[in-house]
Amino acid sequence: AQSVTQLGSHVSVSEGALVLLRCNYSSSVPPYLFWYVQYPNQGLQLLLKYTSAATLVKGINGFEAEFKKSETSFHLTKPSAHMSDAAEYFCAVTRPGGTSYGKLTFGQGTILTVHP
């Protein structure tokens, strides 16, 4: 079974400050990991994904995440927050292989607030 824990349901930063959203996973096999962003009343948009290639993954809008197997973590970062980054962010895990049918297990989400 797989699970995802996002530490901090709410994170608040100032515009221009570092964004750090934490995600820890549990998986019995090497996982694939994803970060999605959701703006109010919209669907989820993929930010980036880790699929066992480079451990540092770069995504859209200046975000990146690093897969750390020893820490079972996949934290999302952005060097300088922008007002438009305010949204809810979800970390998700899946098990590679056809029998998983691509099913994702999501964390509870982290709401990012950006102050001027």
Partner 1 sequence: SQTIHQWPATLVQPVGSPLSLECTVEGTSNPNLYWYRQAAGRGLQLLFYSVGIGQISSEVPQNLSASRPQDRQFILSSKKLLLSDSGFYLCAWSVRGSGADTQYFGPGTRLTVL
107 binds partner 1 (CB under 8 A): yes
Closest CB 66 distance from partner 1, rounded Å: 19
Footprint on residues 34-53 left by partner 1 (CB under 8 A) = 34, 36, 41-46, 49, 51
Closest CB 109 distance from partner 1, rounded Å: 6
Q: Are 23 and 4 in contact (CB under 8 A)?
A: yes
Q: Kindly report the number of other CB atoms within 10 A of residue 4's CB atom.
A: 22
The two tokens of residue 74 are 């996949």
Residue 41's contacts (CB-CB under 8 Å, 6 or more residues apart) are none
115 binds partner 1 (CB under 8 A): no
CA–CA separation, 63 vs 34, rounded Å? Answer: 12
Point out which span in 10-18, 20-28, 68-76, 91-99 binds partner 1 (CB under 8 A). 91-99
**Which of 85, 82, 67 is closest to 23 using CA atoms?**
67
Point out which span in 13-21, 58-66, 68-76, 87-95 binds partner 1 (CB under 8 A). 87-95
The two tokens of residue 35 are 């970060």
Q: Which residue has the tokens 């020893």?
A: 70
112 binds partner 1 (CB under 8 A): no
Contacting residues toward partner 1, per CB under 8 A: 32, 34, 36, 41-46, 49, 51, 90, 94-98, 100-109
